[in-house]
Amino acid sequence: MSSVIKIRNITRDFHLGQEIVKVLKGIDIDIEKGEYVAFMGPSGSGKSTLMNLLGCLDTPTSGSYILNGKDVSKMSDDELAEIRNKEIGFVFQTFNLLPRTTALDNVALPMVYAGATKKERTARAEKVLTDVGLADRMDHKPNQLSGGQRQRVAVGRALVNHPSIILADEPTGNLDSKTSVEIMNLFDDIHKAGNTVILVTHEEDIAEHAHRIIRLRDGIVESDERKTMAPVSPRH
């Protein structure tokens, strides 16, 4: 198997007035195609900062980040935006849906930036919404959907450009227990279909869905544990 993510000696500093706060202090991680990984750690451990770097929403202070063979740590903002749209599907705790736009158009939006035709956008968005169990909710706007349904729309939007990686930041943080189980079952299915899935969570029961748990503390990797299980074949 080949690494979809390879980070070496990644650091990230922030300037607060005259003070420099070192949030990430030299992190080395490889993530293979088709892995299911959870990042955990207490508040201030650096997991959100690392997630932003992995998602190309930020760049490191030093170190290298190779994503699918490309060094993204030195890319410009425009290059990073293109990588984000092609390679990474995001799922956020707060859903981040356009409120006056239907589920179908919310899911189709990333394809607009990718240059897909209207016909192609509609066909792919309809298929993805059907796959996440919302075939009968395509014309509904977010305020007409439950929290779980909104998160399914967000998952559909993350999947629609066939990204290399699904990044989910506290994806069940705004959901009740029953709905959280449904959403995590959906992530399990996405992983079984061959996607690389990376979660950030502070909840142990959510992290247990992953096959590898990386714990951060004070800006370094405290532990990196893999469960033993049969590998999932990546989608070609």
CATH superfamily of 34-62+74-226: P-loop containing nucleotide triphosphate hydrolases (3.40.50.300)
Token couple for 77: 């903002």
Token couple for 204: 């142990």
Identify the pLDDT of residue 104.
96
Q: Which residues contact 208 (CB under 8 A, 6 or more apart)?
A: none
Question: How many CB atoms are closer than 10 A to CB 44?
Answer: 13
Identify the pLDDT of residue 1.
59
Question: How many CB atoms are closer than 10 A to CB 230?
Answer: 6
Token couple for 94: 């707060």
Identify the pLDDT of residue 236.
45
What's the pTM value of the predicted model, to 2 decimals? 0.89
Token couple for 111: 């394809």
Whole-number Å distance between alpha carbons of 129 and 160: 9
pLDDT by 10s per residue, the chain, length 236: 579 999 999 999 999 999 999 999 999 999 999 999 999 998 889 999 999 999 999 999 999 999 999 999 888 999 999 899 889 999 988 889 999 999 999 999 988 888 889 999 999 999 999 999 999 999 999 999 999 999 999 999 999 988 989 999 999 988 899 999 999 999 999 999 999 999 999 889 999 999 999 999 999 999 999 987 554 455 44
